[in-house]
């Protein structure tokens, strides 16, 4: 039986889905106003592993991922500018263009990291009517009240406020994170809906509650998750920075509207550190996947590095660490590529594998087990079968081991050369062939295609 850590109860719990064999899982997605960095990748990686483990154990997982393209303000206390509108102004683009650009990059990176495609991907701006309806329900049930800059949630009416984060009403002092708004009934009250400031027109605004406005940051996740997964669903994932205020507020507004429990298991990934330090703008250590690629690492090297850490421990990203991961992954890929036949999955190793997964996703130990399989006295073909079976969770694409040795840029040049040759542009074809050879690869032409290999 799978055990995972539930932030809500603060303990390890056996995972039991509401409907046997079916799991509803909501993953808090990115706010698409900037490039996603390694911290994001680490968080989505852990959601991906959790989903893969559940699927490996025979569950059908419906994963819903949102894209926040409106309403996330620069301050957690419902003040400041909308992150999208701010980025749009700074970049001389529309908020829609900014959102579309960073959403595209986010999905390219997901693909490179081999994250499984969510069943539903929802953009906040496509669910405005659902959000308005939810806010209206909260007003009707007198949880929502109106002040001059928007509609707020009255946290004093929700007794469980603080259960997830430990931030109870008494404990939470008005301070840096929650800015003072004298009109709010309680300092912890948060915006369900904001009115567009008078005299300042926004690019994204909607007519509701008698004037122009836009959603508060938290309401989208409640509206979209309940629409696709029902009022109560199994798992909600996110980074530890989402616990408060985002997830605490999601629970308050969802449960107040529905009258039932919102989510059974809250799964949070701890922060990623860079060279032992917190990521920060001043340290310029918000590394992106592209920064790694420029230094010769692939997304799958990062995936390997992530696999060696546990979701509840702070992962310390270092350049030495990613170098080690790259070497280890190459060894693993070469080992699998060197075995032509596939045999049978070894039961003993599979049981050990399951035991480790069930133990709160003990991935570092799982990676040690991978090397135990390689060093074991199993036949090569059984080793390969066992590793390919594990790979359904690891997601390292071991089955593609042979192709993997050829870098993407070489494949792209080869493709270009093949087209040039087909078009009888032999001068360009020769030039490109030379380029490939200079990079240490050789292209062997056949009648209907070509093969690439290392020299
Ligand atoms: Zn969310």
Question: Do 278 and 335 sit in the same domain of this protein?
Answer: yes
User: How much is the pTM?
Assistant: 0.87
Note the pLDDT tens digit of each residue in 137-164.
999 999 999 999 999 999 999 999 999 9
Neighbours of 183 (CB within 10 A): 12
How far is ligand 1, taken at its centre, from the CA of residue 209, in Å?
23
How far is ligand 1, taken at its centre, from the CA of residue 52, in Å?
21
How does 92-126 read in b/e, with b if 16+ C-beta sit within 10 Å? eeebeebbbbbbebbbebbebbbbeebeeebbbbe
Contact 194, 213 (CB under 8 A): yes
Mean pLDDT for 119-135 is 98
How far is ligand 1, taken at its centre, from the CA of residue 127, in Å?
14
Question: Do 20 and 96 sit in the same domain of this protein?
Answer: yes
Kindly provide the residue ranges of all beta strands, DSSP E only, lying in 369-422, ordered along the sequence: none
Question: Do 108 and 136 sit in the same domain of this protein?
Answer: yes
Instruction: Grade residue 358 by pLDDT with cuts at 50, 70 and 90.
Output: very high
Question: Do 231 and 311 sit in the same domain of this protein?
Answer: no
Whole-Å CA distances, 43 to 50, 86, 134, 199, 269: 11, 25, 28, 39, 6
How does 203-242 read in b/e, with b if 16+ C-beta sit within 10 Å? bbbbebbeeebbbbbbbbbbbbbbebbeebbbbbbbbbeb
With 80 as the cut, is the pLDDT of residue 169 above it?
A: no
| CA-closest candidate to residue 121, choices 135, 133, 134, 111 | 111
Instruction: Grade residue 79 by pLDDT with cuts at 50, 70 and 90.
Output: confident
How far is ligand 1, taken at its centre, from the CA of residue 379, in Å?
47
How far is ligand 1, taken at its centre, from the CA of residue 333, in Å?
36
Question: Do 9 and 65 sit in the same domain of this protein?
Answer: yes
How much is the mean pLDDT over the chain? 92
> What CATH number is given to the structural domain containing 321?
1.10.730.10
In the chain, how many domains are there? 3
Question: Do 290 and 175 sit in the same domain of this protein?
Answer: no
CA atoms of 3 and 1, how far apart (whole Å): 6
How far is ligand 1, taken at its centre, from the CA of residue 242, in Å?
7
Q: Tell me 193's DSSP state.
A: E
Question: Do 109 and 177 sit in the same domain of this protein?
Answer: yes
Output 389 or 284, whichever has higher pLDDT.
389
CA atoms of 361 and 46, how far apart (whole Å): 9
| Domain stops at, among 269, 295, 329 | 269
How far is ligand 1, taken at its centre, from the CA of residue 409, in Å?
36
| Domain stops at, among 226, 248, 269 | 269
How far is ligand 1, taken at its centre, from the CA of residue 293, in Å?
29
How far is ligand 1, taken at its centre, from the CA of residue 75, in Å?
15
Percent of the chain with pLDDT over 90: 76
pLDDT at position 173 is 60
Question: Do 124 and 203 sit in the same domain of this protein?
Answer: yes
CA atoms of 113 and 395, how far apart (whole Å): 9
| Domain stops at, among 269, 287, 309 | 269
Instruction: Grade residue 438 by pLDDT with cuts at 50, 70 and 90.
Output: confident
Question: Do 126 and 236 sit in the same domain of this protein?
Answer: yes
The dihedral region occupied by 30, where left means phi > 0, alpha psi between -120 and 50, and beta the remainder, is beta
How far is ligand 1, taken at its centre, from the CA of residue 321, in Å?
31
CA atoms of 243 and 266, how far apart (whole Å): 9
Question: Do 46 and 116 sit in the same domain of this protein?
Answer: yes
Helix axes 128-140, 248-258, angle to 10 degrees: 70
Lowest mean pLDDT among 70-79, 170-179, 240-249, 339-348: 170-179
Instruction: Give residue 278's Cα distance to chain centre.
Output: 19
Question: Do 179 and 312 sit in the same domain of this protein?
Answer: no
| CA-closest candidate to residue 18, choices 63, 66, 59, 64 | 59
Note the pLDDT tens digit of each residue in 16-38.
999 999 999 999 999 998 999 99
CA atoms of 88 and 15, how far apart (whole Å): 43
Domain span holding position 67: 3-269
With 70 as the cut, is the pLDDT of residue 435 above it?
A: yes
Contact 253, 139 (CB under 8 A): no
Question: Do 260 and 155 sit in the same domain of this protein?
Answer: yes
The secondary structure element, H or E, covering residue 51 is helix 38-56
Whole-Å CA distances, 114 to 52, 246, 346, 374, 398: 11, 27, 25, 23, 12
Whole-Å CA distances, 76 to 95, 163, 216, 413: 20, 19, 10, 47
Output 282 or 435, whichever has higher pLDDT.
435
CA atoms of 13 and 21, how far apart (whole Å): 17
Residue found by looking up tokens 């002040």 in the block? 147
Query: Residue 62 has which token pair?
Result: 């419906």
Backbone angles phi, psi at 10, to 5 degrees: 60, 35
How far is ligand 1, taken at its centre, from the CA of residue 253, in Å?
13
């Amino acid at each position: 039986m799978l055990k995972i850590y539930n932030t809500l109860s603060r303990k390890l719990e056996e995972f039991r889905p509401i409907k046997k064999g079916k799991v509803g899982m909501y993953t808090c997605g990115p706010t698409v106003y900037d490039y996603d960095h390694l911290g994001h990748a680490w968080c989505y990686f852990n959601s991906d592993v959790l989903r893969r483990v559940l699927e490996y154990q025979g569950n059908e997982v419906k994963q819903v991922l949102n894209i926040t393209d409106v309403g996330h303000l620069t301050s957690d206390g419902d003040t400041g500018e909308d992150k999208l509108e701010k980025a749009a102004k700074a970049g001389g683009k529309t908020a829609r263009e900014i959102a579309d650009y960073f959403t595209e990059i986010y999905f390219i990176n997901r693909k490179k990291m081999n994250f499984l495609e969510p069943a539903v991907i929802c953009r906040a701006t496509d669910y405005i009517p659902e959000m308005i309806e939810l806010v209206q329900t909260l007003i009707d049930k007198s949880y929502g009240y109106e002040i001059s800059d928007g509609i707020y949630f009255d946290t004093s009416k929700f007794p469980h406020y603080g259960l997830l984060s430990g931030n109870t009403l008494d404990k939470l002092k008005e301070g840096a994170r929650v800015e003072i708004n004298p009109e709010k009934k309680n300092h912890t009250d948060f915006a369900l809906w904001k009115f567009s400031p008078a005299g300042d027109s926004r690019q994204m605004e909607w007519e509701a509650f008698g004037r122009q406005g836009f959603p508060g940051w938290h309401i989208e996740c409640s509206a979209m998750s309940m629409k696709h997964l029902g009022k109560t669903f199994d798992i909600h994932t996110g980074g530890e920075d989402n616990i408060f205020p985002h997830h605490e507020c999601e629970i308050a507004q969802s449960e107040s509207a529905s009258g039932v429990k919102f989510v059974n298991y809250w799964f949070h990934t701890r922060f990623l550190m860079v060279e032992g330090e917190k990521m920060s703008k001043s340290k310029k250590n918000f590394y992106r996947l592209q920064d790694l690629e420029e230094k010769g690492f692939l997304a799958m090297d990062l995936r390997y590095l992530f696999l060696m850490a546990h979701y509840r421990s702070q992962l310390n990203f270092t350049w030495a660490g990613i170098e080690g991961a790259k070497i280890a992954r190459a060894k693993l890929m070469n080992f699998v590529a060197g075995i032509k036949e596939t045999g049978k999955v070894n039961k003993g190793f599979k049981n050990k594998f399951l035991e480790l997964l069930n133990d709160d996703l003990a991935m570092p130990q799982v990676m040690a087990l991978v090397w135990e399989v390689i060093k074991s006295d199993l036949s090569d073909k059984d080793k390969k079968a066992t590793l390919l079976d594990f790979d359904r969770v690891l997601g390292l694409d071991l089955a593609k081991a042979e192709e993997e040795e050829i870098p993407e840029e070489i494949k792209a040049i080869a493709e270009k050369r093949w087209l040039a040759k087909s078009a009888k542009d032999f001068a360009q074809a020769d030039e490109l062939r030379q380029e490939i050879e200079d990079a240490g690869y050789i292209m062997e032409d056949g009648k209907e295609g070509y093969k690439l290999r290392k020299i």
